[in-house]
Amino acid sequence: MKNIDQYLTANADRFVDELKAFLRIRSVSADSQFKDEVRKAARFVLDQLKGAGLTAELVETEGHPIVYGEWLGAPGAPTVLIYGHYDVQPPDPLDQWITPAFEPTIRDGCIFARGATDDKGQVFTHVKSIEAWMKTAGRLPVNVKLVIEGEEEVGSNNLDLFLERNKAKLKADVAVISDTSQYAPDMPAITYGLRGIVACEITVKGPKQDLHSGVFGGAIANPVNMLARLIGALHDDRGRVTIPGFYDDVLPLTADERARFAALPFNREAFLKELGVPAEWGEEGFTSIERRWARPTCDVNGIKGGYQGEGPKTIIPASATAKITCRLVPNQNPDRIVAALEKYLRGLCPPAVRLEFNTWHNCPGFVFDANSRFMAAARKAIEIAFGVAPVMIREGGSIPVAASFRTLLGVDTLLLGWGQNTDNLHSPNEHFHLADFHRGTRASAHLWLEMSKVK
Ligand code: BES
Ligand code: MN
Ligand code: MN
């Protein structure tokens, strides 16, 4: 491993330069105006994989392309399926970025840009560790298959079809994803559970166009007022979601898991200060960690309707829209939750308005076996690179492919996150600590060796 570690050190600055080039590409999957940029990012990944010595191809989908790469020159050794995404969240609100979202800048030991930690920087750790092996040893100790997609941030809707069509080709012993976070700075983690998600959009429709609120107000329903009523009815005073049946399939936390969560360091004051909120809020009877990792939620992500410009304007708006997501925990069925939400909202909506209900994407929550076959290898690799053993955590975010790997390919995933939850993912000034980038790359390089020893 010595020459590989040396290669990583000798080439560290070049890795950062190449990551910068990756981050300059505006691969915003949600926004069709960036379609060409998304493809450009796919090509960048393709060239990187080829440059590292893998065979690689672009696979077209109904949406953005998937990059597939492989190196299968280690017969008898385990095969590792590596997943990541090259698409990013929209950079808005633009005016809150200290330096522009797509002009990567190094400050305070961090690289700032949209996608720095989620997920371009983290994907890059695996690309570079593979390059290091191939350029120094001319081989890898394990077989690798990489699936780097461009639609994770919009729900991975075309990925399952690719997995289903390529079951044999994608056969692997274990999957690795670096798209989560460490528990805290210098507290690397292995994540054994993620929440699922359902995403939908509701529109309350009133009059056929905006109307004078003095002439007609009071005699017809106001769609914005109605939407607010619907949203207000999603929770009770104890912070519980009021959709009938919402909690029916939720597995209660075991006493043992609650104790393990509670044993993790948690500084409430620092948590509140970091987020800029005056107090915690959530479902009664649960701690913040439990609420984030193991309890389902229902949140409005955005709301639109009526006059948004400067100064007053007296109208009854024609319509109002809200984007809603529920985070789900294991055993909740996404389709049933969406159906229950739609039924509940329709029941609350008076005949004086019309309700439109559209769904975007969904995926279930899950937990993995925390003692699986490859876990010890991951622990060891992380310990070598970070100098401390990882803690076992669950997280509240969602990565749709992880559940699909299990259900469609029968492979379990190791979620090895090198980032921090405070890296501003999905927020302005997203960044990735360069130390985490380099440690992550080193952990990845050691991971392949440790995994090759697993029988
Ligand atoms: N990398 C995140 C998920 C994540 C972040 C998990 C931090 C755990 C810790 C991923 O890119 C993401 O943002 N996923 C979306 C899911 C989706 C279907 C749009 C999410 O969780 O909102
Ligand atoms: Mn991600
Ligand atoms: Mn994301």
Q: Is there a contact between 24 and 86 (Cβ–Cβ < 8 Å)?
A: no
Res. 67 pLDDT band, cuts 50 70 90:
very high
Is residue 136 pLDDT above 90, yes or no? yes
pLDDT tens-place string over residues 82-91: 999 999 999 9
Question: Which CATH number applies to 2-194+365-452?
Answer: 3.40.630.10
The Cα 440–Cα 399 span in angstroms is 19
pLDDT in tens, 3-52: 999 999 999 999 999 999 999 999 999 999 999 999 999 999 999 999 99
* pLDDT number for residue 420: 96
Q: Is the CB of 87 under 6 A from ligand 1?
A: no
> CB count, 10 Å around CB of 301?
10
Residue 372: predicted pLDDT = 84
Q: Ligand 1 pocket, 402 CB below 6 A?
A: no
Choose which residue among 152, 426, 436 to substitute to test ligand 1 binding: the one with the highest number of ligand atoms within 8 A of its C-beta: 152
Among 109-118, 171-180, 223-232, 359-368, where is mean pLDDT lowest?
359-368
Does ligand 1 come within 6 angstroms of the Cβ of 395? yes
Residues lining ion ligand 3 (Cβ < 5 A) are 118
Here the tokens at position 296 are: 């389902």
* Whole-number Å distance between alpha carbons of 280 and 101: 30
Nearest to 141 by CA among 69, 48, 76: 76
- pLDDT above 90 covers a percentage of the chain that reads 98
From the list 228, 214, 215, the residue with the least C-alpha distance to 353 is 228
What backbone torsions phi and psi does residue 166 show, to the nearest 5 degrees? -120, 30
Domain boundaries, given as residue ranges, for the chain: 2-194+365-452, 198-250+296-362
Establish whether residue 153 lines the binding site of ligand 1, counting it when its CB lies within 6 angstroms of any ligand atom. Answer: yes
Rounded Cα gap, residues 319 and 317, in angstroms:
6
- From CA 335, how far away is CA 329, in angstroms rounded? 13
291's enclosing H/E stretch is helix 288-294
- Tokens representing 20 are 């910068």
Is the pTM of the predicted complex or chain greater than 0.85? yes
Task: Determine the pLDDT at residue 370.
Answer: 81
Residue 1: what pLDDT? 87
Residue-wise pLDDT for 189-236, tens only, equals 999 999 999 999 999 999 999 999 999 999 999 999 999 999 999 999
Check residue 2 and give its pLDDT: 93
**369: confidence class by pLDDT, cuts 50, 70, 90:** confident
Residue 116, pLDDT > 90, answer: yes
Predicted pLDDT at 223: 98
Report the CATH number of the 198-250+296-362 domain: 3.30.70.360
Query: Quick check: CB of 181 below 6 Å from ligand 1?
Result: yes
Q: Which helix (H) or strand (E) covers residue 344, if one does?
A: helix 334-348
For 286-293, which contacts have Cβ atoms below 8 Å and span 24 or more sequence positions?
287/261, 287/262, 289/261, 289/262, 289/264, 290/253, 290/258, 290/261, 292/395, 292/396, 293/193, 293/195, 293/261, 293/393, 293/394, 293/395, 293/396
| Secondary structure class of 253 (helix, strand, coil) | coil
C-alpha distances out from residue 209 to 214, 223, 352, 396, Å: 15, 11, 15, 40
- The average confidence (pLDDT) of the chain is 97
Distance 123 CA to ligand 2 centre (A): 9
